[in-house]
């Protein structure tokens, strides 16, 4: 019953109403409304987890696992870009748990006073470059990314994955063998700044982009069949620390703590690792 919130929210956002400003109205109102609807109106015990898009597959698995233990428990996930989730929480969305893809957005929520406790890092992630299996841009090595005219898709820089990707590019510019303006040249070829990292993966697997930078965990089996990976050396890669926290407005704090416990447990960690994440250090 978990809904691909992001896609649906996007749909709602683009509901066909005459007049452009209407879309704006709907952008935050309806995502908010949607969050409210799925969280606020249920009378049965329902845990609501807001999680970064990259956690989609892993958390869905964990949700199933939790439900097996407690069949009465309802869990709803809201997967979206971390900034979007933070925004919704600040606007009053009723959620129990927040799992962000970076510390920046967790801090933003913490500074606004919406956390119940302190955040815990529960998993880390790293970035990887992917290209379509047919490799239309003929990218074999990282250096090829700087080739002029390559269609590169990144997450927007407000999104953790986008910020990390740009950091990685800067790091690579320092490496010998790469030109010092490597990052600028790559960024000049960016054709789209997507609002969440999964969209980047989509564009690459459809063959529309020549290359994209995503998390290693985003290369799910389904996507792996359609793309090729180009690894980033550990020294230049970014370690993304994913924090997890219980929210102050949690309606089901116990269920929330159970979920957090599960995530941090060996079983949870196994699930996360299986989905491409790296253990928290």
Interface ranges with another protein (CB under 8 A): 7, 10-11, 13-25, 27-29, 81, 83-84, 86-87, 134, 136, 151, 153, 156, 158, 190-195, 203, 206-208
| Residue closer to another protein (CB basis): 63 or 137 | 137
| Residue closer to another protein (CB basis): 10 or 185 | 10
d(C-alpha 198, C-alpha 58), whole Å:
14
* Residue positions counted in the chain: 281
Q: How far is the CB of 254 from another protein (least distance, A)?
A: 30
H and E: helices and strands count for the chain: 11, 10
**How far from chain centre, in Å, is Cα 97?**
15
| Residue closer to another protein (CB basis): 46 or 81 | 81
DSSP β-ladder status, 227-230 and 127-132: antiparallel
Q: How far is the CB of 8 from another protein (least distance, A)?
A: 9
Q: How far is the CB of 24 from another protein (least distance, A)?
A: 4
| Residue closer to another protein (CB basis): 4 or 239 | 4
| Residue closer to another protein (CB basis): 15 or 239 | 15
Q: How far is the CB of 206 from another protein (least distance, A)?
A: 6
Tokens 């990259």 found at: 54
State whether residue 248 is helix, strand or coil.
coil
If residue 76 lies in a helix (H) or strand (E), which one and from where to where? strand 74-80
Q: How far is the CB of 25 from another protein (least distance, A)?
A: 5
State whether residue 123 is helix, strand or coil.
strand
User: What is the rounded radius of gyration, in angstroms, for the C-alpha atoms of the chain?
Assistant: 19
| Residue closer to another protein (CB basis): 20 or 266 | 20
Q: What angle do CA 66, 71, 72 make, to 5 degrees?
A: 110
Q: How far is the CB of 201 from another protein (least distance, A)?
A: 14
């Amino acid at each position: 019953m978990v809904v691909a919130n992001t896609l649906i929210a996007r749909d709602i956002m683009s509901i066909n109403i005459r007049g452009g400003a209407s879309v704006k109205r709907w952008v935050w109102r309806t995502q908010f409304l949607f969050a409210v609807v799925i969280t606020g109106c249920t009378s049965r015990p329902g845990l609501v987890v807001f999680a970064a898009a990259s956690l989609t597959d892993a958390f869905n698995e964990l949700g199933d696992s939790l439900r097996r233990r407690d069949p009465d428990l309802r869990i709803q996930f809201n997967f979206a870009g971390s900034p979007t989730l933070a925004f919704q929480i600040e606007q009053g969305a009723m959620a129990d748990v927040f799992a962000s893809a970076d510390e920046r957005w967790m801090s933003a929520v913490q500074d606004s006073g919406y956390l119940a406790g302190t955040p815990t890092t529960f998993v880390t992630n790293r970035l990887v470059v992917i290209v379509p299996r047919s490799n239309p841009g003929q990218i074999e090595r990282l250096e090829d990314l700087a080739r002029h005219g390559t269609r590169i898709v990144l997450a927007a820089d407000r999104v953790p994955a986008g910020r990390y990707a740009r950091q990685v590019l800067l790091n690579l510019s320092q490496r010998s063998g790469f030109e010092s303006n490597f990052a600028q040249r790559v960024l000049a070829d960016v054709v789209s700044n997507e609002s969440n990292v999964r969209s980047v993966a989509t564009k690459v697997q459809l063959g529309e982009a020549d290359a994209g930078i995503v998390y290693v965990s985003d290369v799910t089996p389904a996507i792996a069949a359609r793309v090729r990976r180009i690894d980033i050396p550990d020294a230049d890669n970014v370690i993304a620390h994913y924090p997890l926290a219980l929210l102050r407005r949690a309606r089901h704090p116990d269920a929330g703590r159970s979920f957090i416990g599960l995530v941090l447990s060996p079983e949870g960690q196994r699930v996360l690792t299986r989905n491409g994440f790296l253990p928290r250090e």
